[in-house]
Each structure stands twice: as C-alpha cells, then as structure tokens.
C-alpha cells in the first residue's frame, strides 16, 4: 500500500480519521501541524502551537515552514509507510501540491458545509475567515476557492455528511483494496 495523504477543510476530520486509519493499517500517523510546531521550536527555540506560529510570525513564514516540513517528511519517511494529515491550507500552494502527490495517494475528505460550519466555529470564528461577522458567507467563499484545488490534487474524493470517522476509515480502506485489485497488484 502507498502512503495516504488526507486533505480537506479545517474540521473535516483529517486527524481523527487519519489516526484510526493508521492504527488499523499498523503504520505511522503524521500530523503536519505538529511537525510544523516541532520545526519551529528547533528553528526559533520557541514553543508555540501552529495557530500561534501563524498569528505571531505571519502567513508567509508559516507557509514557507509548512512547505519545508512537508518536503522533510517525505525525505525522512521515504522507506516507511504512513498516513499524513495536512492542514487545510497546505494544498493551496502549488509546490505543496506536487510534493503531496509525490508522497502517496491523496484523499480529499469533503465534509458537507452543514457538518463543517458548526465544527469550525465551535471555538470561535477563525482568523482566516474573511467575513468575521458572517461565518457562513466566509465558509462559502473559502469552499468556492479551495474545493476545486482539493479535487484537482486528490486521487479520491470522499464526500460525506453523517458518517462516523470509523465509517470514513472503512471507505478509504475499501477504496484502496478495490484500487489495488484493479491494478492487478495486491501488494501495491
């Protein structure tokens, strides 16, 4: 089996699904945001979570660090299989798109807007929402921009509304088992 890269909007379930998928497959789970935090700590000797890094050092620094970490993960993990959960903005960078596609099979977790909105605003309106007073309009605009990019990068899109992380994990595994049978190589 190839590495599995999960992409999609914030709060679509990439980390939750990724952890149980990796556990089921017996492979490593890598959370890009956590790897960014580790790299920032090494670089700046400053312990911040990924939101604080973005807020304090700005989007340019954050996105450059994100791209570097993504490439480093690929180099470090080349011999090991893993599931990688990307940040919602990771695939928006064209260089990241190439890196993501070269790492493995890309799955876009396409959560319905009705599922996403309450999850995203649960802890307050995120800073990246363009209309702070209108979260629904913000999400609509972001989805309009991001969804075509996610779909372009993805090898498989999994759209869902009410499915549990367990059910999503099973859909991903079913996709890979069908995919490898179609390729005629059960060990792929």
pLDDT in tens, 53-91: 988 998 899 999 999 999 998 887 666 899 999 999 999
Phi first, then psi, for residue 45 (nearest 5°) are 55, 40
Residue 86 annotated as lining a ligand binding site:
no
111-123 pLDDT, tens per residue? 999 999 999 999 8
Task: Say what the pLDDT of residue 70 is.
Answer: 94
Residue 87 annotated as lining a ligand binding site:
no
Residue 43 annotated as lining a ligand binding site:
no
Residue 8 annotated as lining a ligand binding site:
no
Write down the architecture of domain 4-173 according to CATH: 3-Layer(aba) Sandwich (3.40)
Torsion of CA 64, 133, 110, 32, to 10 degrees: 30
Q: What is the mean pLDDT of residues 123-137?
A: 91
Where exactly are the structural domains of the chain? 4-173
Phi first, then psi, for residue 185 (nearest 5°) are -130, 95
Residue 112 annotated as lining a ligand binding site:
no
DSSP single-letter state for residue 2: -
Residue 171 annotated as lining a ligand binding site:
no
Q: 153 pLDDT exceeds 80?
A: yes
Higher-confidence residue of 78 and 183: namely 78
Residue 110 annotated as lining a ligand binding site:
no
Residue 159 annotated as lining a ligand binding site:
no
Q: 25 pLDDT exceeds 80?
A: yes
Residue 14 annotated as lining a ligand binding site:
yes
């Amino acid at each position: 089996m190839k590495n599995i890269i999960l992409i999609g909007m914030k709060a679509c379930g990439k980390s939750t699904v990724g952890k149980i998928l990796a556990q089921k497959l017996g492979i490593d789970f890598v959370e890009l945001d956590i790897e960014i935090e580790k790299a920032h700590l090494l670089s700046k000797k400053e312990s911040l979570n990924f939101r604080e890094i973005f807020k304090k050092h700005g989007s340019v620094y954050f996105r450059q660090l994100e791209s570097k970490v993504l490439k480093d993960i690929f180099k470090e993990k080349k011999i090991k299989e893993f599931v990688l959960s990307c940040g919602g903005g990771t695939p928006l960078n064209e260089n990241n798109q190439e890196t993501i596609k070269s790492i493995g099979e890309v799955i876009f977790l396409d959560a319905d807007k009705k599922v996403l909105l309450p999850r995203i605003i649960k802890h307050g309106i995120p800073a990246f929402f363009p209309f702070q007073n209108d979260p629904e309009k913000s999400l609509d605009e972001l989805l309009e921009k991001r969804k075509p990019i996610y779909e372009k990068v993805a090898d498989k899109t999994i759209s869902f509304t009410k499915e549990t992380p367990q059910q999503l994990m099973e859909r991903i595994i079913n996709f890979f088992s069908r995919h490898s049978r179609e390729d005629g190589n059960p060990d792929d």
